[in-house]
Amino acid sequence: MTKRMNAVLFFVATACIAMAAQNDEPLLTTVNIPKYPPLARAARVEGVVKLAFTLPANAGKPTNVEVLSGHPMLKGPAADNVKTWILENRYAVDRRYEATFRYRISEVEVPAPTRDRVTFDSFHDVEVVTDLVKGTIQYECSDGPCPEQ
């Protein structure tokens, strides 16, 4: 009976340590909410931007932010946003991390101004979703009123 109880306690202790190790990452404490770049929204550009950065030992601001991949219209805003982050970092050594920004247009048309919806699953995964701006098309005809389209 004692052996079984020890085995159960050992299993529970091992599971607790494993769970604690999984959650032992820096905590994102301060962030400027990323915005969907207006020019990218107007051009209906969507995509994924992958970045890497270094978190210095016992420091909270990312350094050496590097864009690994992504659309040119989205890369700059994602990198600029990461540079504003402050993380709670307990590690005594520099560590390298990756973050992924997913920019998506919802295909819902709304009157201006639009609002972006931002989701942080963690600092590793950020989603920025925006709506399309309802627009009116103005036709100009050189010889009087334009016919109805």
21 has pLDDT over 50: no
User: With bands split at pLDDT 50, 70 and 90, how would you rate the model's confidence at 25?
Assistant: confident
Q: Within a domain: residue 123?
A: yes
Average pLDDT, the chain: 80
What would the pLDDT profile of 29-82 be if each residue is shown by its tens digit? 999 999 999 999 989 999 999 999 999 988 889 999 999 999 999 999 999 999
**Strands 125-133 and 95-110, how do they pair?**
parallel
Contact 122, 30 (CB under 8 A): no
The number of domains in the chain is: 1
Q: Within a domain: residue 117?
A: yes
Contact 68, 40 (CB under 8 A): no
Q: Within a domain: residue 139?
A: no
Q: What is the pTM of this model?
A: 0.72
**Parent domain of 82:** 26-133
Output DSSP code: residue 121.
E
β-bridge mates for residue 126, sequence order: 101, 120
93-126 b/e (C-beta count within 10 Å ≥ 16 → b): eeeebebbbbbebeeeeeeeebeeebeeeebeeb
Q: Within a domain: residue 1?
A: no
Q: Which CATH number covers residue 48?
A: 3.30.2420.10
Q: Residue 10: CA atoms inside 13 Å, Cβ hemisphere, count?
A: 6
Q: Within a domain: residue 125?
A: yes
Q: Within a domain: residue 149?
A: no
Q: Within a domain: residue 86?
A: yes
Q: Within a domain: residue 107?
A: yes
